[in-house]
Amino acid sequence: MDATSQRLLMCRPTYFAVDYAINPWMDPSAPVDAALAVRQWEQLRQTYLDLGHTVEEITPVPGLPDMVFAANGGTVIDGRAMAVQFRDPQRADEAPAYRAWFEAAGFEIYDPKHVNEGEGDVLLAGDHLLAGTGFRTAHAAHAQLQEVFGYPVITMQLVDPRFYHLDTALTVLDERTVAYLPEAFSPGSQAVLRRLFPDAVHATMADAEVLGLNAVSDGRHVVLPAQATDLAAKLRDRGYETIGVDLSELRKAGGGPKCCTLRLRQGKASK
Ligand code: ARG
């Protein structure tokens, strides 16, 4: 399997905290070790550098504790950056910060007309855009994504509040294959996934409960939470190299490796 070198955007968790609850993982009364969160994040960043990826950083903004979750900052494909609109007011001010970064980096900007939480809910799988809805990104946003990017958009109906973003329930492994938790999707969406990806890896609830599906693949190496041991074994059986990372502090906000990582797809050649 060939690895693709990726250009990634990350945001250091300098101001990370869990002081509101907008998903079932978040408990503002539980302690969070912010310094440990930074160290774990640095290990993730170093993992990407060791794999030969390029990591760019956006400056964190005080008062935006979830800004570390760069996947929610936009969707960037073929040099076009679609900015985001958050469902929850607590995260609203992240959107202009990421939009400004994309603009300064020279991407063509598109503004969202509906709630759209970026790569948290929008995953490019081969020539299809898989788009989640049910908790965050509005169904109406899917039509706009199709217009902006020109990829057929496949709506994925999420049904379990613990797996509120598509990237908590499904990982794109390469152009042809995904891994996912079937029970995180409606029956119709499960049928669509079986049709599109007959060879998909099915994850277990135990893997999903440690956010194991919140993984980043370059087509050969899969960076995933170290606790997702069953999933890692299944991926190795399929010929992928797995790299476990511990992001236990960030999981207290409901995020894992993929949430911390936004793929910047410059042009067609590097898609
Ligand atoms: N606390 C954040 C939220 O609920 C976590 C976001 C995780 N990001 C992701 N791409 N799944 O919005």
11-43 pLDDT, tens digit per residue, is: 999 999 999 999 999 999 999 999 999 999 999
* Residue 214: CA count within 13 A, CB half-sphere: 35
Find the 171 Cα to ligand 1 centroid distance in Å. Answer: 15
**So what's the pLDDT on residue 108?**
97
pTM above 0.85, yes or no: yes
Q: What is the pLDDT of residues 43-80, one digit of tens each?
A: 999 999 999 999 999 999 999 999 999 999 999 999 99
What is the mean pLDDT of the segment spanning 104-122? Answer: 98
For the CA of 259, the nearest atom of ligand 1 = 10
Provide mean pLDDT across the span 220-243: 98
How many angstroms is it from 29 CA to the middle of ligand 1? 18
**Cα–Cα distance for residue pair 11/228, rounded to 1 Å:** 24
- If phi over 0 gives left and psi between -120 and 50 gives alpha, with beta otherwise, what is residue 93? alpha
Q: Is 259 one of the annotated active-site residues of the chain?
A: yes
| Residue 259 Cβ contacting ligand 1 at under 6 Å | yes
User: Does 172 sit in the ligand 1 pocket, CB within 6 Å?
Assistant: no
User: Residue 97 Cα, ligand 1 centroid: separation in angstroms?
Assistant: 16
3-state DSSP assignment of residue 3: coil
Closest approach atom of ligand 1 to CA 253 = 1
Residue 223 CB partners (closer than 8 Å, separation 6+): 44, 47, 48, 51, 215, 216, 217, 243, 245, 257
120 lines ligand 1 (CB under 6 A): yes
